[in-house]
């Protein structure tokens, strides 16, 4: 009785004869193995990139980067609605949405917490989406230090951070407005030229990417603080992309 090797070899000989080609079984095997290796290495690189990106976040307290949806208490209907809106946003971004989102409200209402929960939600899923969290005040301070930096330490930090801001899929710009002013209402002043230049550069990197901005200011106040080019690139005009946080200051609870 013929064995499988002989049958395969006969079939190949027939194919070679009919088609006028030479089939090299050993090379097919090598090629397949090379492809599999390439897929494995790319997958590993992308997973590492996800963690490298998130770990490049600029935040004063690293514990602030730990929040998840499960930690968000929903004792009031407002909080329930805020959580559900944030989960919807995470879902949309997961499916490829690249809009701007605005989380606005008074201090301690959970804006930063839910913005970080979105990033952690995305990070935990089987996706290549890369996320970065940046405190706007720390960014502007770092950029200021870089201007007078003689030893290229802050300059290098700023360069690396801006590369991450440019490349990441989802960016949280935390506490926009606080780097400029702690007042609200009619006392709002425009941001300094320096701050506007930094924000314009960032805004330009972020076209066609998902951006979540948290702020104590209302949309109209941000329009008075920043140049129209920044507003147009970073601030959503869609009411459904805005979460207005209400309730009480959770820092006091
Ligand atoms: N619904 C909530 N459940 C549990 N903890 C919450 C909730 N909302 C806020 N907190 C907690 O309250 C504190 C303040 O929340 P967070 O930093 O998100 O506020 P914020 O709206 O970003 O305030 P700010 O405008 O001052 O930056 C954090 O310790 C956060 O974990
Ligand atoms: Mg905050």
Taking only the tens place, the pLDDT of each residue in 92-134 is 999 999 999 999 999 999 999 999 999 999 999 989 999 999 9
CA dist 198 → 56, 148, 192, 204, 216 (Å):
18, 15, 10, 10, 20
Q: How many CB atoms lie within 10 A of CB 4?
A: 7
Q: Which has more pLDDT, 223 or 14?
A: 223
Domain boundaries, the chain: 56-252
Q: What is the per-residue pLDDT for 11?
A: 81
Task: For residue range 169-212, list pLDDT tens digits in order.
Answer: 999 999 999 998 776 667 788 999 999 999 999 999 999 999 99
% of residues, the chain, pLDDT over 90: 72
Centre of ligand 2 to C-alpha 106, Å, is 9
The binding-site residues of ligand 1, defined as CB within 6 angstroms of any ligand atom, are 71-73, 79, 107-113, 175, 214, 216, 245, 250-251
Which residue has its alpha carbon closest to ligand 1 atom 9? 110
Centre of ligand 1 to C-alpha 119, Å, is 16
Q: What is the pTM of this model?
A: 0.87
Q: What is the atom index within ligand 1 of the atom nearest the CA of 79?
A: 1
By the 10 Å C-beta count (0-12 exposed, 13-18 middle, 19+ buried), 96 is classed as exposed
The residue whose CB lies within 8 Å of the most ligand 1 atoms, and thus the one to mutate among 104, 113, 115, is 113
Please report the beta strands in the chain, taking only residues with DSSP state E, as ranges in sequence order.
100-105, 131-135, 170-176, 210-215, 242-245
The residue whose CB lies within 8 Å of the most ligand 1 atoms, and thus the one to mutate among 60, 82, 110, is 110
Which residue has its alpha carbon closest to ligand 1 atom 31? 113
Distance from C-alpha of 125 to C-alpha of 180, rounded to nearest angstrom: 36
DSSP secondary structure code for residue 192 in this structure: P
Quote the mean pLDDT of the chain. Answer: 92
CATH class of the 56-252 domain in this structure: alpha beta
Q: What is the atom index within ligand 1 of the atom nearest the CA of 75?
A: 1
Distance from C-alpha of 51 to C-alpha of 128, rounded to nearest angstrom: 10
Q: What is the atom index within ligand 1 of the atom nearest the CA of 253?
A: 12
Confidence of residue 2 (pLDDT cuts 50, 70, 90): low
Q: What is the per-residue pLDDT for 4?
A: 67
By the 10 Å C-beta count (0-12 exposed, 13-18 middle, 19+ buried), 221 is classed as buried
Centre of ligand 2 to C-alpha 231, Å, is 20
> Has residue 1 got a pLDDT over 60?
no
Show Cβ contacts of residue 72 under 8 Å, excluding neighbours closer than 6 positions.
79, 82, 83, 86, 110, 113, 114, 117
Centre of ligand 1 to C-alpha 32, Å, is 51
Centre of ligand 1 to C-alpha 212, Å, is 16
Confidence of residue 8 (pLDDT cuts 50, 70, 90): confident
Centre of ligand 2 to C-alpha 8, Å, is 67
Residues forming a β-bridge with 105: 245
Distance from C-alpha of 97 to C-alpha of 92, rounded to nearest angstrom: 5
Q: What is the atom index within ligand 1 of the atom nearest the CA of 216?
A: 25
Centre of ligand 1 to C-alpha 97, Å, is 26
Which residue has its alpha carbon closest to ligand 1 atom 17? 112
Let me know: does 177 contact 138? Beta carbons within 8 Å.
no
Q: What is the per-residue pLDDT for 145?
A: 93
> Has residue 23 got a pLDDT over 70?
no
């Amino acid at each position: 009785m013929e064995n499988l090797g002989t049958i395969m070899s006969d079939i190949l000989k027939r194919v070679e004869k009919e088609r006028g080609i030479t089939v090299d079984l050993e090379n097919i095997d090598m090629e397949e193995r090379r492809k599999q290796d390439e897929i494995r290495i790319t997958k590993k690189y992308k997973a590492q990139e996800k963690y490298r990106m998130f770990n490049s976040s600029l935040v004063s307290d690293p514990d602030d980067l730990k929040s998840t949806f499960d930690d968000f208490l929903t004792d009031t209907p407002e909080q329930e609605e805020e959580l559900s809106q944030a989960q919807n946003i995470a879902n949309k971004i997961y499916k490829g949405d690249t809009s701007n989102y605005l989380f606005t409200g008074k201090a301690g209402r959970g804006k930063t917490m839910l913005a970080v929960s979105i990033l952690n939600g995305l990070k935990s899923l089987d996706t290549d989406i890369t996320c970065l969290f940046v405190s706007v005040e720390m960014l502007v301070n770092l950029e200021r230090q870089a201007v007078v930096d003689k030893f290229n330490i802050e300059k290098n930090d700023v360069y690396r951070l801006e590369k991450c801001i440019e490349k990441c899929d989802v960016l949280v710009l935390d506490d926009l407005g606080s780097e400029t002013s702690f007042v609200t209402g009619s006392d709002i002043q425009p941001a300094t030229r320096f701050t506007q230049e930094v924000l314009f550069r960032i805004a330009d990197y972020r076209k066609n990417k998902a951006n979540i901005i948290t702020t104590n200011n209302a949309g109209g106040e941000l329009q008075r603080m920043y140049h129209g080019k920044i507003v147009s690139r970073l601030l959503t005009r869609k009411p459904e992309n805005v979460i207005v946080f209400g309730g009480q200051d959770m820092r006091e609870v």
